[in-house]
């Protein structure tokens, strides 16, 4: 692909949510484009788009529309021409995307792990601890590790959740290491090994989308895409497609490259943490069909009760 020397028009408009983390990821995207193409500061304008997920903070996403609450307003802005491309945390992007929108690039992946904030370990938590999270995956994994735990809803950006913890609303919470690192808070919390808590599919990855027929912007974005991150995250998303998972469904998945192949691990967990169905395999890069089969195979091995979560 020939290196583009200039954007198709200036400024290019990059749509993003307005949270501190979303803005940090938008600035990372702008910096990558400027470094790759030698553009000046005025080449890209960041356009903040408020999403339903940002406005509604008192209920779990699964109850009010799922991951689409993070994307639908940005999708509308893309379709209407208000923005030229949009940046997302990939774990917030629903599995099936509109045909007119394409995931065009992913930045190099950051730390995929979770951090426990408020205690040095799960064992160090008091009896019957209160643990704040809005993630069904984290909630199920916490209950698996600490069956005596009570999980309470923690919504909001990183600062909001840390403030809730500081006010004593819970003994601990869980946050993505990547988000904390990008906000300059890498010293917050204790990192949990993936062997203890397998992360959410796509955790730690930043994705950039544009319209499927916008060849000029697709070419620009392809030039900053990290192929290793892209292939691993797309494998994890293919597992989700095989599962037909929703925000109600506790799902974890992680793909890593080993000797040129994708080592893929995934698990589904009952909300009470008492049932876990897991698998691991090695597949070729780009073999979405094999990853989807893995997701379907997990369901085949699950109890009727756990399987029903994915059929709703």
Annotated active-site positions, please? 92
Say if CB 223 and CB 106 are below 8 A apart: no
d(CA 180, CA 86): 21
DSSP H or E stretch at residue 171 = none
Tokens matching residue 188: 């917050």
Phi then psi for 126, rounded to 5 degrees? -70, 175
The owner of tokens 């799922």 is: 66
Phi then psi for 106, rounded to 5 degrees? -135, 140
Helix (H, G, I), strand (E, B) or coil at 116: strand
Tokens matching residue 25: 């990821």
Helix (H, G, I), strand (E, B) or coil at 136: helix
Tell which residue, 276, 297, 304, 305, has the closest CA to residue 197.
Answer: 276
d(CA 207, CA 300): 31
Helices 227-243 & 288-301, crossing angle to 10 degrees?
40
Sign of the four-CA dihedral 246, 283, 178, 113 = positive
Pairing assessment for the beta strands 44-48 and 12-16 based on DSSP bridges: parallel
């Amino acid at each position: 692909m020939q290196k583009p020397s200039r954007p198709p028009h200036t400024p290019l408009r990059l749509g993003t949510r307005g949270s501190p983390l979303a803005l940090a990821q938008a600035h990372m995207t702008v910096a990558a484009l400027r470094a790759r193409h030698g553009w000046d500061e005025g080449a890209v304008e960041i356009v903040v788009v408020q999403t339903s997920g940002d406005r509604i903070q008192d209920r779990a996403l699964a109850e009010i529309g799922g991951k689409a609450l993070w994307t639908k307003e940005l999708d509308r802005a893309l379709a209407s021409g208000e923005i030229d491309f949009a940046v997302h945390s990939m774990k917030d992007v629903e599995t099936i995307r509109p045909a007119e929108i394409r995931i065009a690039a992913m930045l190099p992946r950051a730390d995929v792990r979770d951090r426990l904030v408020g205690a040095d370990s799960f064992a160090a938590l008091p009896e019957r601890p209160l643990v704040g999270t809005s993630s069904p995956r984290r909630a199920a994994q916490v209950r698996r590790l600490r069956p005596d735990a009570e999980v309470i809803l923690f919504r909001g950006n990183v600062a909001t959740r840390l403030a809730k913890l500081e006010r004593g609303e819970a003994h601990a919470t869980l946050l993505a290491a990547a988000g904390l690192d990008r906000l300059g808070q890498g010293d917050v919390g204790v990192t949990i090994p993936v062997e203890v808590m397998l992360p959410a599919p796509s955790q730690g990855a930043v994705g950039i989308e544009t319209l499927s027929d916008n060849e000029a912007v697709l070419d620009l974005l392809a030039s900053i895409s990290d192929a290793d991150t892209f292939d691993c995250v797309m494998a994890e998303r293919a597992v989700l497609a095989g599962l037909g998972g929703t925000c109600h469904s506790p799902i974890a998945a992680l793909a890593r490259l080993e000797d040129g192949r994708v080592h893929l691990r995934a698990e589904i967990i009952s909300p009470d943490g008492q049932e876990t169905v897991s698998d691991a395999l090695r597949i070729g890069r780009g073999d979405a069909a094999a990853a989807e089969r893995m997701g379907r195979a997990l369901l085949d091995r699950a109890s009727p009760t756990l399987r029903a979560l994915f059929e709703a």
